[in-house]
Structure 1
Amino acid sequence: MTAWTGGAPAVHIGNVGDFNAQFADGSPAVRRAGGHYACLAAFYSPDPRILVLPRQVDDFWVRELSRVLEWQDIAVYGAVAGEDGGVVEGLRSRPALLERIRRSGLPVITWGRTPESEGLLAPPEPTAGSGSDVGPDGLGQALRVTRRYESKAAAHRLFRTLAPAHPGIVVPAQERLTSRRETARALAARAAAGATVVVKAEYGVGGYGTTVVTPGQIAEAGGARALAKRLARGAVLIEEYVHGSGPLRNLTFDAVVDDKGAVHPVGVGVMDIDGTSYQGVTVGPGTVPDAPAGVAERFAAAVGGALAAEGYRGWYDVDFVMDRAGRLAPVEINLRLTGPAVAFMIQARLARLQGGLPLVRTLDRLPLGARLPAAALADHLGEASLRCRSLGVTLLTTVVTAAFEPDPYVGVALAARTSGALDAAEAVVRSANEALGRMFLETGVSASGPSSGASPRRTRRPRRRRS
C-alpha cells in the first residue's frame, strides 16, 4: 500500500457523484445518487486525516471507526455539497476548508478524477509523471485515459489486444449498436440461435446499465423489438454471455500505477454480484486459489502497463467472470478507487495494528428491517459489533447515511482470520437487521417510520464542523 500514499496520512474527498456524473447527464440527481456510497471515502487510504463528505454523518460513526482502527485526530466535514449535488462545488463555497486542505501538505485522494477536482485540488506544480499535466482540451493526461477506458468498448479492444499473450484468458465477443432497430435485430438473431447475451451501456458503474438477456426473456417481452424499447436510447454493447457458476464466478484484481508509471499489484478478491449489481467483496489469504489468482494478476498487470504507457496514474481494477473451463474473461476496467479497494485499505490498516493479513468481507448494501434514527442505529450496530466480536470478528460500518431512506440499508465490513468466522458474522448481522422489522411488526408500529398523524420525536443534531 506504500505505492498508494507513501505510507502517509491523507485527505479523503468523497466525490463519487461527481465522478459518475461525467459519464452520465451531469445532473444534480446523478451527483446526489452517489451520496451514500461516498461514505466509503473514510477508507480511501488506511489512515485518513481529513474526511470530506457530501452528506452529514453522525459523530458515533467516525468515533467508533477511530477507536477500532486507531485513527488519530481525524477532522470530518459533512454536508459539503453544492447546489449541483457535487462535493467540488461544495468545496468552492468553503474557502477556509479548501485552504486547510491545500495547506495540509497531505496527499489528496478522491474516488476518481474529474475536471473539477483536478482543477480545484491539483497541486500548483504537478510532479513529473503525475498524470496532472493539462493538454489543449483542458484535461490532465490521466483523466483523458480514465475517460477513454471507462468505456466498456475501449476496454474490450484493449483486452483483445493483450489476451493472446495470456493463457487462461478468454475475451467474449462484443458488438456496438447505435440504434434500437439495430439492437432489436441483433437480439432477435441471438435468440433464434438460442444464445444468452449481455447488453451493456457503454458507461456504467457497479453493474448499472448492464442486463443479461435470455431467449426466454425476449419471448416474454413480446419479441426483440419490444424488449429493445425498454433499453436506454443510443448506443449499446451486446456481448457474448460467458457461462459459468460457482464461488469463483466473479473475480477482481486491484493495482496501483505510481507516479513513475510502475504497476504495483494490490490483490485479488471474490465479488458478490446480485444479478449484475456489485454488492461487496471478500479478500485475503486463501480466498482465491493460486492458479486463477495468478492468471488475474498477470493480465491485470498487463492492463496496468498499457494504461501507464498512455499516461494513467492511480488506482484501477480489472473485473473478470470465470467460465465453465476455469478460464477468466475480463469484462471491464475501473480507473478509480473501487469497492474492493475499501476492503484492501481495511486489511492493510488491521495488518499494521494486529499483524498478519486478515480476511476482509465488505457488504455494501445490507437491508435494514426498519428505518432507524442515528441513536437507534448506533445502538443496533453496537450490539451487532459485540456479537461479531464474540466470534472473533471485527465489524466496521462503511455506509451509515442510508438508514432512514424509504428502503433503509447499511454497509459493513467484517474482518476475521477464517472464512467460517466471516460467514458466521455475516449471518449474525443479516439476522439482526431482519429482526428489526419483526420487532416493529410485533409491536404494531410501522417499520417505515412515524405515521402521517404522528409527530416524530425531535433529536439533537450533532454540531457540524465549519470550515
Structure 2
Amino acid sequence: MRTAAWTEAWTAGDRAVHIGDVADFNAQFLPQSAESRRQGHHYSCLAAFYSPHPAVLVLPHQVEEAWVRLLERELGWSAVELHSGLAGDGLMAPALAARPALRQRIDTLGLPVRHWGRSSPDDPALAAVRRYEAKDASHVLFARLAPGHPGIRVPAQQSVEPGRRLARLLAARAAEGRTTVLKARHGVGGFGTAVLTPGQIALAGGARALLRRLTDRQILPPGERLLVEEYVDGAGRLRNPTFDGVIAEDGSVHPVGVGLMDVEGTGYRGATVGPGLLPDGLADTVAGFGVAVGRELARAGHRGWYDVDFVTDRSGRPAPTETNLRLTGPAVAFMIKARLDAVRGPGHLVRTLDRLPLGARLGPQALLAHLDRLAGRCAPFGATLLPTIPTAGFEPEPTVGIALAARGPDALDALDALDAAEAVVRSANLALGDPFDALEPRP
C-alpha cells in the first residue's frame, strides 16, 4: 500500500499506540472547568485517528467496542486493542501511572506511542510547545518570517493589561468603526478568542460591560493580559485555510497538506482536506509559509505534529493567526484521508464535523445505530460516513462527531458528494426530535 512521505516521519509508516490525553495537554494552558473537562473527555475520541493505522487505543472514558470494530472494517485496520474507561477526570498521565501492567504491555509492543501533544514535565521538547502555543510568541514569529513571503500579511497585535486601559482602547477602536479581535495568550477550539464589533460594544453598554460579560461566560479568562489584534475582514469559502506538518526527530519538516476549516464565530467545528480545495496560488502561499514556520519550530526544539491557521482578507491574501504544536482537528481528517488513499486508492476528500447537534439525546448504542442508518443514506452519493466522536449523544445539549469521505473525477464532484451527505446527516440528526420521523420509511 502506498503511503505519504509524512507518515514515515510521523510513525515510520508503522502502526502506533494512541493515548487519548487531550485533557492533559489542555490542562497546561487552560482553566479546567467542568465543561472544559467534559469536552476534553469527548474530544479524546479523536485519539482513534492519531495515525492512519492504530494498534492500541487508550481512552479516558468508556466507549463502545462496536465503534472501534466499525472503524476497523471501514478503514481496513488490523485488530485494534482497546483500553477505555481509565480516567473519570480525563487526565491520562495519572491513570497510566496507576496501571503498570498496561504500561508494560505498551512498552513490550515496541511501537511508536502518539499523544495529542507533549505534556510531560520531563520532555525536553516541552519548552518549545509552551513557548509557541502562546499567541503573542507565534505572532512575533510570523512578523519575523513574513518579509520573506510576500503573499502573507500579518495583522497588527499588542498586549494590554486587563481593566480600564483595555476598555478604553476597545472603546476608541469602536469609535473609529474598527472591529477588534481579542485573544487570550492560550486557547483552543475558540475559547479565549472574541471578535468585537462596534455594534456589539454599543449594544452591551460599552466596552467594560462587554468584557465582563465575556469573562462571566468563560469566553475570556479573568485577570490576564489580553492581545488586541487587527481584524482581517473577509468572508467566503476560502476564509479559514490551515496547514499541517510533521517535524521529524532529525528536525526535518514534512508537509502534510492544506485544508479549509469550518469556523462558526470564533469556534472551530471541523475541516475539509484533500486535493483541489484551494486555488494553487493560495495553497502554495499557505504551504510555503507553513513550512518556514515549521523550520523555526524545529530550531526551537519542537518535534512532532504542528499546524498554522490562517484567515484570508477580501483579496484572498492569507494572514496567519496561530500555531498549534500538537495534533489538531484537521489532523484527524488528514489521517483518515491517508488511510483511505492507501486502501481504496488516492484522491479522497475528507470532511470532519466535530459537534453536529442532535435533535434528541441518544445513548451510545442507539447513536451508533442511528449513524449506521445514515451511512446507508450517504452511500448513494458516493460518501463514506465514519463516527469520530460517538460519546456526546447523551449530553444536555447532545452532539456527535463524524467524518465524511468521497472521491470523484475532480474535487468539485467530491465536494458535491460531501455537501449532499452533510445535508442529509444534519437534517436527520435534527429530525430525531420529531416524533413523526420514526414513521417515515427508511431507504
TM-score range, shorter chain: over 0.9
Quote the offset at 1:386 in angstroms: 0.8
The equivalent of 1:393 in structure 2 is 383
The equivalent of 1:437 in structure 2 is 433
* Secondary structure of residue in 2 paired with 1:141: coil
* Secondary structure of residue in 1 paired with 2:172: helix
Equivalent of 1:60 in 46, 52, 66: 66
> Is the 1:210–1:276 Cα contact (8 Å) retained in structure 2?
yes
Partner Cα separation in structure 1 for residue 35 and residue 352 of structure 2: 26
The TM-score normalised by the length of structure 2 is 0.92
Worse-superposed segment, 345-354 or 88-97: 88-97
> Is the 1:367–1:409 Cα contact (8 Å) retained in structure 2?
yes
Equivalent of 2:29 in 12, 23, 34: 23
Partner Cα separation in structure 1 for residue 397 and residue 381 of structure 2: 29
Equivalent of 2:332 in 329, 342, 346: 342
Equivalent of 1:2 in 5, 8, 12: 8
- The answer on 1:211 being equivalent to 2:194 is yes
> Is the 1:28–1:85 Cα contact (8 Å) retained in structure 2?
no
The equivalent of 1:447 in structure 2 is none
> Is the 2:368–2:390 Cα contact (8 Å) retained in structure 1?
no
Quote the offset at 1:259 in angstroms: 0.4
- The answer on 1:289 being equivalent to 2:247 is no
Q: CA deviation digits over 1:139-178, x for unaligned, max 9?
A: 4332100000100000000000000110110000111112
Equivalent of 1:280 in 266, 270, 275: 270
Q: CA deviation digits over 1:247-295, x for unaligned, max 9?
A: 0000000000000000000000010000000000011111111100000
* Secondary structure of residue in 2 paired with 1:50: strand
Structure-to-structure mapping, 1:69-84, within 5 angstroms? 69-81=75-87, 84=89
> Is the 2:61–2:90 Cα contact (8 Å) retained in structure 1?
no
The TM-score normalised by the length of structure 1 is 0.87
Quote the offset at 1:226 in angstroms: 1.7
Letter in 1 for 2:18: H
The equivalent of 2:183 in structure 1 is 200
Equivalent of 2:418 in 415, 419, 422: 422
- The answer on 1:406 being equivalent to 2:412 is no
Structure-to-structure mapping, 1:45-194, within 5 angstroms? 45-81=51-87, 84-115=89-120, 139-194=122-177
Quote the offset at 1:326 in angstroms: 1.4
Q: CA deviation digits over 1:168-193, x for unaligned, max 9?
A: 10000111112222210110110111
Partner Cα separation in structure 2 for residue 2 and residue 441 of structure 1: 47
Partner Cα separation in structure 1 for residue 192 and residue 420 of structure 2: 33
Worse-superposed segment, 192-201 or 431-440: 431-440
* Secondary structure of residue in 2 paired with 1:245: coil
> Is the 2:360–2:398 Cα contact (8 Å) retained in structure 1?
yes
Letter in 2 for 1:97: L
**Runs (5+) with no aligned partner, structure 2:** 1-6, 216-220, 408-413
Change in 2 beyond 3 A, CA 1:109/1:355: same
Quote the offset at 1:25 in angstroms: 3.7
Partner Cα separation in structure 1 for residue 434 and residue 210 of structure 2: 39
Quote the offset at 1:31 in angstroms: 4.0
Letter in 2 for 1:428: V
Partner Cα separation in structure 2 for residue 350 and residue 442 of structure 1: 33
> Is the 1:18–1:31 Cα contact (8 Å) retained in structure 2?
no
Quote the offset at 1:29 in angstroms: 6.3
Partner Cα separation in structure 2 for residue 425 and residue 413 of structure 1: 11
> Is the 2:364–2:390 Cα contact (8 Å) retained in structure 1?
no
* Secondary structure of residue in 2 paired with 1:36: helix
Quote the offset at 1:30 in angstroms: 4.4
Q: CA deviation digits over 1:108-131, x for unaligned, max 9?
A: 00001002xxxxxxxxxxxxxxxx
The equivalent of 2:411 in structure 1 is none
Equivalent of 1:262 in 248, 252, 264: 252
> Is the 1:21–1:30 Cα contact (8 Å) retained in structure 2?
no
Quote the offset at 1:228 in angstroms: 2.5
* Secondary structure of residue in 2 paired with 1:390: helix
Partner Cα separation in structure 1 for residue 39 and residue 362 of structure 2: 20
Partner Cα separation in structure 1 for residue 247 and residue 233 of structure 2: 32
* Secondary structure of residue in 2 paired with 1:406: coil
* Secondary structure of residue in 1 paired with 2:41: coil
Quote the offset at 1:33 in angstroms: 3.4
Letter in 2 for 1:92: A
> Is the 1:141–1:312 Cα contact (8 Å) retained in structure 2?
no
Q: Percent identity?
A: 60
Letter in 2 for 1:148: R
Quote the offset at 1:28 in angstroms: 7.1
**Runs (5+) with no aligned partner, structure 1:** 116-137, 444-467
The alignment's C-alpha RMSD in Å is 1.5
Partner Cα separation in structure 2 for residue 396 and residue 3 of structure 1: 26
Letter in 2 for 1:262: S
> Is the 1:315–1:337 Cα contact (8 Å) retained in structure 2?
yes
Partner Cα separation in structure 2 for residue 167 and residue 49 of structure 1: 44
Partner Cα separation in structure 1 for residue 27 and residue 319 of structure 2: 28
Structure-to-structure mapping, 1:230-241, within 5 angstroms? 230=213, 231=215, 232-233=221-222, 234-241=224-231
